[in-house]
Copies of this chain bind each other. A is one copy, B any other.
Amino acid sequence: MSGSGKTLRLGVAGLGTVGGGLLKLIERQAELRLPGKLEVVAVSARNKNRNRGVDIAKFRWVDDPVELALSDDIDVVVELVGGSDGPAKRTVEAALRSGKSVVSANKALIAEHGMEIAALAEKHQAHLLFEAAVAGAIPIVRAVKNSLSGVIVSRVSGILNGTCNYILSEMLRTGAAYETVLAEAQRLGYAESDPFLDVSGGDAAHKVLILAAIAFGAQPDFTQVQVEGIDKIEAMDITLANKFDYRIKLVAEAYRSGGSVRCRVAPVLVSRDHPLASVNGPLNAVVVEGEPVGRLTFTGPGAGAGPTAAAVMGDLARLFEGPATPPLGKPSRELAAVITAADSTNDQGSFFIGAKLADKPGMFAALTEELAEAGVSIDKLIQESAGDTGAAPVAIMTHPCPRASVEKALAKIAALKITADEPRLLRIETRA
Which A residues are within 8 Å of any B CB, using their own CB?
1-4, 21, 24-25, 28, 31-35, 122, 125, 131, 137-139, 142-143, 146-152, 217, 275, 278, 291-301, 305-307, 309-314, 316-318, 321-326, 329-331
Whether the pair B293, A150 counts as a contact (CB closer than 8 A) is: no
CA distance A278 to B277 in the complex (A): 12
A-B pairs with beta carbons under 8 Å apart, 5 shown: A131-B147, A139-B148, A142-B146, A297-B298, A298-B298
Instruction: Please name all residues of chain B whose beta carbon is closer than 8 Å to the beta carbon of A146 when the two chains form the complex.
Output: 142, 314, 317-318, 321
Given contacts A25-B150, A150-B313, A150-B314, 19 further A-B contacts (CB under 8 A): A1-B324, A24-B292, A25-B292, A33-B329, A33-B330, A137-B151, A137-B293, A137-B296, A138-B296, A142-B142, A142-B146, A146-B314, A291-B306, A292-B309, A293-B307, A296-B298, A296-B301, A321-B322, A322-B322
Please provide the 5 A-B residue pairs with the shortest distance between their CB atoms, ordered closest to farther.
Answer: A322-B322, A150-B313, A292-B306, A139-B147, A296-B300
Whether the pair B293, A301 counts as a contact (CB closer than 8 A) is: yes
CA distance A317 to B330 in the complex (A): 12
Whether the pair B33, A1 counts as a contact (CB closer than 8 A) is: no
Known: A148-B310, A317-B146, A321-B146. A4 touches B326 (CB 8 A): yes
Of chain B, the residue at the smallest CB distance from A318 is B146
Whether the pair B306, A293 counts as a contact (CB closer than 8 A) is: yes
Instruction: Please name all residues of chain B whose beta carbon is closer than 8 Å to the beta carbon of A300 when the two chains form the complex.
Output: 293-297
Known: A294-B307, A306-B291. A142 touches B150 (CB 8 A): no
Most chain B CB within a 10 A radius of its CB, from A3, A217, A305, A310: A310
Q: What's the least CB distance linking A94 to chain B, in Å? A: 20
Most chain B CB within a 10 A radius of its CB, from A3, A146, A322: A146
Whether the pair B143, A147 counts as a contact (CB closer than 8 A) is: yes
Of chain B, the residue at the smallest CB distance from A329 is B33
CA distance A116 to B299 in the complex (A): 35
Most chain B CB within a 10 A radius of its CB, from A24, A150, A325: A150
CA distance A1 to B122 in the complex (A): 7
Whether the pair B321, A294 counts as a contact (CB closer than 8 A) is: no
Instruction: Please name all residues of chain B whose beta carbon is closer than 8 Å to the beta carbon of A21 when the two chains form the complex.
Output: 292
Q: What's the least CB distance linking A256 to chain B, in Å? A: 11
Instruction: Please name all residues of chain B whose beta carbon is closer than 8 Å to the beta carbon of A139 when the two chains form the complex.
Output: 143, 147-148, 296
Instruction: Please name all residues of chain B whose beta carbon is closer than 8 Å to the beta carbon of A299 when the two chains form the complex.
Output: 275, 296-299
Q: What's the least CB distance linking A122 to chain B, in Å? A: 6
CA distance A152 to B307 in the complex (A): 12
Q: What's the least CB distance linking A273 to chain B, in Å? A: 9
Of B32, B149, B296, B306, the residue contacting A317 (CB under 8 A) is: B149
Of chain B, the residue at the smallest CB distance from A121 is B1
Most chain B CB within a 10 A radius of its CB, from A139, A147, A297: A147
Whether the pair A33, B217 counts as a contact (CB closer than 8 A) is: yes
Whether the pair A310, B292 counts as a contact (CB closer than 8 A) is: yes
Q: What's the least CB distance linking A2 to chain B, in Å? A: 4
Whether the pair B137, A142 counts as a contact (CB closer than 8 A) is: no
Whether the pair A1, B331 counts as a contact (CB closer than 8 A) is: yes
CA distance A149 to B143 in the complex (A): 14
Instruction: Please name all residues of chain B whose beta carbon is closer than 8 Å to the beta carbon of A313 when the two chains form the complex.
Output: 149-151
